[in-house]
Amino acid sequence: MENKERKSYSIKFVRAEDKELIKLMYKWQINEDEKEKMCCTWLPEIQTEPYNDEHFEKFFNHMETYLGSQANYAFLKDNDSEEYLGWIKYSKYNRRNFSIEIGYYFPKVNRGKGFGKIIMSLFLDTMFNYEKMNLNKIYAETYEGNIGSTKLLEQLDFKIEGVRKEYYWFDNGNVKYDQLWYSLQKSDWEK
């Protein structure tokens, strides 16, 4: 049986100086459909417009103030090709119970290829071992129709902590989904 080489991946935390990565994030997200824009991306009001430099600069200026204070993003990098595949972010650091909330995103071309599990594993290892934050719990939310995300969270031992009924409305309210709140305790990750 032939041995296949294992690909090497890493995560790169984004700083305001990483303008090209932020531009990549912006370009990925402006091309998404309604569900993705409402659930999985963060964009300003101009999100319905096609890419142009002026709109990107507005987005970038906001991200410069946002990064490091309200949210931190990390990109998954294929170390062999030097290609960035998607991102994960954390926000809402709670010093009372040492928790954060996470969100993640992959452009359509990179979905269903196992990258979610790779970025989550790298990120969870990094964050749960980051002594300065001393994390005890990590939260994630998704809508019930996002089967890929719910499967990923459950594979990694996240447990449902709550449900917000009919939280997401699509197609002018004709399609409604519940929001699922998941969490993972550090002690469960370490098992």
What is the DSSP annotation of the chain? -PPPPPP-EEEEE--TT-HHHHHHHHHHHHT--HHHHHHT----GGGGSPP-HHHHHHHHHHHHHHBTTTEEEEEEEETTTTEEEEEEEEEEEETTTTEEEEEEE--GGGTTSSHHHHHHHHHHHHHHT-TTT---EEEEEEETT-HHHHHHHHHTT-EEEEEEEEEEEEGGGTEEEEEEEEEEEHHHHH-
Mean pLDDT of all residues in 18-39 = 76
pLDDT of residue 34: 54
Tokens found for residue 108: 């359509």
The HSE-up count of residue 119 (CA atoms within 13 Å, CB side) is 30
Q: Check pLDDT > 50 for residue 1.
A: no
Residues in the chain: 191
pLDDT of residue 47: 53
**pLDDT tens digits, 89-118:** 999 999 999 999 999 999 989 999 999 999
Start-to-end C-alpha separation, the chain? 32
**Which of 52, 51, 68, 54 is CA-nearest to residue 17?**
68
pLDDT per position as a tens digit, 169-188: 877 778 888 999 999 999 99
Give me the mean pLDDT over the 18-42 stretch: 73
177 vs 122: which has the higher pLDDT: 122
CATH of 9-190, one of 3.40.630.30, 3.40.50.720, 2.160.10.10, 3.90.1150.50: 3.40.630.30
**Domain residue ranges in the chain:** 9-190
Q: What's the rounded Cα separation, in Å, for the pair 170 and 173?
A: 5
